[in-house]
Chain A
């Protein structure tokens, strides 16, 4: 997993064809570790790589979906390509919002990510500054 090195708050992370649906990769943007995730429907998300619990690197845990429940006692699979799971205590986070699936207001950082000319950019500046939040559109 290569990390783009940059001190700029906005950086090109990779080409869009280098990150397939369901894949994720670690990037370094302005010295912050950012986990770039592409859901199964192709949407890009960028989140902080540190678990808010004890700081474990989320890039070492899973990325995919998880169990959801339509009714008490029943399992189904959902949130496909939208969940990162911490390698230490299995805390799960929704990359769309950064929020822990168990709630309690625990969350990971989320960052702006967009595609320009088939290149994927991430900004660790204030969210929404570029008006392109969480979009695969260029």
Chain B
């Protein structure tokens, strides 16, 4: 494609004066970045050479692993260099607010709960010091160890009042977050006026566990895993118990939502007696208290895009996200179908997130 063709193509794309990006990954240069924020007793757990595990067996036949190949600084992994993030994302795309979502889930360890709690606290202190103080456009997500919900609640109380945090981040988990054992996390988020965000990681397995091929996992893993948590949170009544709580499903797709809304309501009609605490059809709770981020976008026509939004409940349901600096990054200029109505673009790329995160 010639340069001229590319320019013409880009001219057809929706543009916006400012955007809010709901999924930006800041990364540690290495786990050792947390040492200054960790009590001495934990240093020996890391000094031995331990690193944050991904538990991911797939070979990654991509250009730069899960990173955008042009976003890997010389100094460390993609996302670890703020100046590069500013140069590649914040400045060129007029990002008014970037919500940092990390990719650090101590709960993924599944073991050594006190170590996980300490890592979560250290990570929060690290992003407070190293990121949130660096640029007024950045907002943070509270890191918690979901394996110890009481400690997670205490950590939310410890950092929740700090300026700049907008949500509590929950990673994958093979027990549904709606179950009562996780209530201290939702209670603390509600108490501190923070949203909840759910984001997949390599631990987001499919209904069959880990399928043989990475191409299978990428199609199904994040979607099926987070669908399971959405149904869990709604059916167990978390959104009834905390009617002001806001929950965002990040990087797990959204075009599947119409099916899930029909199906969850259908099952509520028949099994209300098992979930008598729900006072509304499940889809009403989702419309009221759940939102979805846009990336990774499938290639949709403008008609498909707006039709699905309508079936989801309206154009308030979707928040733009780029997933910078990962390889499946969506550009706010080029990742959306051409010829979308300007008001839809404005809401999805800006206003919805402004309202949702109270920015």
Contacts and interface: CB of A to CB of B under 8 A. Distances in A.
**Bound pair (A, B):** yes
Interface of A: 53, 66-69, 71-75, 89-92, 100-104, 106
B281 A104 contact: yes
B270 A71 contact: no
Given A72-B237, A73-B237, A67 B273 contact: yes
Interface of B: 180, 236-238, 240-241, 268-274, 276-277, 280-281
Contacts of B180: 73
A92 B238 CA distance: 24
Given A67-B274, A101-B273, 19 more contacts: A66-B272, A66-B276, A67-B273, A68-B276, A69-B277, A72-B237, A72-B238, A72-B240, A72-B277, A73-B237, A73-B277, A89-B269, A89-B270, A90-B271, A90-B273, A91-B270, A92-B273, A102-B269, A104-B269
B270 A90 contact: yes
A106 B277 CA distance: 19
Kindly list the 8 A-B residue pairs having the minimum CB-CB distance in the complex, ordered from nearest: A72-B237, A69-B277, A69-B276, A72-B241, A72-B277, A67-B276, A90-B270, A67-B273
A92 B236 contact: no
B272 A102 contact: yes
Contact of A66 (B240, B241, B273, B277): B273
Main secondary structure of the interface of A (DSSP, over half): loop
Main secondary structure of the interface of B (DSSP, over half): helix
A67 B274 CA distance: 7
B272 A101 contact: yes
A91 B265 CA distance: 12
A69 B240 CA distance: 12
A90 B238 CA distance: 24
B277 A92 contact: no
A132 to B, nearest CB: 32
Interface centre among A53, A92, A101, A102 (most CB of B within 10 A): A102
B66 to A, nearest CB: 38
Contacts of A69: 276-277
B272 A71 contact: no
Nearest to B237: A72
A101 B273 CA distance: 9
Nearest to B279: A103
A106 B268 CA distance: 13
Given A91-B269, A91-B270, A101-B272, A74 B280 contact: no
9 contacts: A53-B269, A66-B273, A72-B236, A72-B277, A89-B269, A90-B270, A92-B273, A102-B268, A102-B281
Contacts of A91: 269-270
Nearest to B241: A72
Nearest to A91: B269
A73 B239 CA distance: 12
Contacts of A103: 280-281
Contacts of A92: 272-273
B272 to A, nearest CB: 5
Contacts of A104: 269, 281
Nearest to A73: B180
A69 B270 CA distance: 17
B269 A71 contact: no
Contacts of B281: 102-104
A4 to B, nearest CB: 32
B167 to A, nearest CB: 22
